[in-house]
Amino acid sequence: MKKVAVIFNGGTISMKFDSRVKAAVPALSGEEIMSMVTGIEKFAEIESFNFSEEPGPHMTPEKMMELSNFIKDILKRDDIVGAVVTHGTDSLEETAYFLDLTIKNEKPVVVTGSMRNSSELGYDGPANLSAAICTAISEESRNKGVLVCFSDELNSASEVTKVHSMHLNAFESPDFGPLGIVDTNKPIFYRDKVYNDYIETSSVESKVALIKTAVGMNSDFIDFAVEKGYKGIVIEAMGRGNVPPYMVEGIERALKKNVPVVLVSRCYKGRVLDSYGYHGGGKELRNIGVIFGDNLPGQKARIKLMLALGKTKDLEKIRNIFEEDFYRIYK
């Protein structure tokens, strides 16, 4: 029987209601959670690892790197066919993307969790965990990068985002949809990813700012980030990749100090492109040296920039990490 490593890393799936604080808190061990996944022993042998009991908002880039290295070591074992990782949903997409960028292994890595804690009716943790384990043992799941499994849907870590604060099916891939589903304990894939990014680095630069644009904004936040020693800035621009005019000077000042600025859209769907030539438009931003982040949401572009800066401080090399596969035809 195939063996799967299940790495428990906190989140709502490990929580229950505490009558003293009148709210859910971390409480369950990995073994207690696995005891609720009834019948899984008919499909796979499970080896459990308790990595942490952290809530999603407590995750840090340094802990993500530690988790990545932990998973890599486990996947080196010949008796392990894949890994399942539990995670708090608030930051799950960021950690899953971090793992996707830093783990280069054909064995499946599947990230899951729950939207309801174990004290709530309809606790979805065991169902998500069993679907993730069934995905990890399948040969069809190999060489697909890191997967996110929720509500019997399989999404790519590079495409998925949390779209709802309370629904059980809280994760979607807005532009492209799921890679597949889990049906009667088997993953079924309907499409594949074309690009599989990998950033080979053992370090991560956590001082990367994320700034969202809105009407009438100026350069104050950009200048503040530079003054406070931030090594990179991600800007969630308007629409196709445009900013209010008074932000341009701050962007220029950041670039002159060798602080990379990555541009993505604040829109739910779509990618950025230098389509507009007015002051603050994408064409001007590209001409002054801004890096374009394709269709990544701000939080994922920030993860990618953290890893890129961990690998190199060269702005052109960082630009290539973001743009090589997506903007070559426009150069």
Identified catalytic residue from 12, 89, 95, 102: 12
User: Where exactly are the structural domains of the chain?
Assistant: 3-189, 208-330
Q: CA 160 to CA 296: how far, in whole Å? A: 10
What pLDDT score does 326 carry? 74
Does this chain's domain 3-189 share its CATH topology with 208-330? yes
pTM for the whole thing?
0.95
Any idea which fold 208-330 has? Rossmann fold (3.40.50)
Q: Which residue has the tokens 């065991």?
A: 126
Distance from the first to the final alpha carbon of the chain: 51
For residue 65, give every residue at least 6 positions away whose Cβ sits within 8 Å of its Cβ, in sequence order, or none: 98, 102, 202, 203, 204
Determine whether 12 is an active site residue: yes
Q: Any idea which architecture 3-189 has in CATH?
A: 3-Layer(aba) Sandwich (3.40)
The token duo for 284 is 């001007």
Q: CA 77 to CA 62: how far, in whole Å? A: 24
CB-side neighbour CA atoms (13 Å) of 61? 19
Q: Which residue has the tokens 């920039």?
A: 305
Q: CA 118 to CA 123: how far, in whole Å? A: 5
- Which of 278, 271, 260 has the alpha carbon at shortest distance from 327? 271
Alpha carbon distances (Å) from 308 to 42, 175, 313, 320: 42, 24, 8, 10
Q: Are 192 and 144 in contact (CB under 8 A)?
A: yes
What pLDDT score does 328 carry? 57
Residues facing 37 on adjacent strands? none
Report residues of the chain scoring pLDDT below 50: 329-331
The token duo for 329 is 């035809």
What pLDDT score does 331 carry? 47
What pLDDT score does 168 carry? 95
Edge-to-edge, what's the strand order for the sheet holding 146-150? 45-52, 3-9, 80-86, 109-112, 146-150, 153-156, 180-183, 186-189
Q: CA 251 to CA 15: how far, in whole Å? A: 43
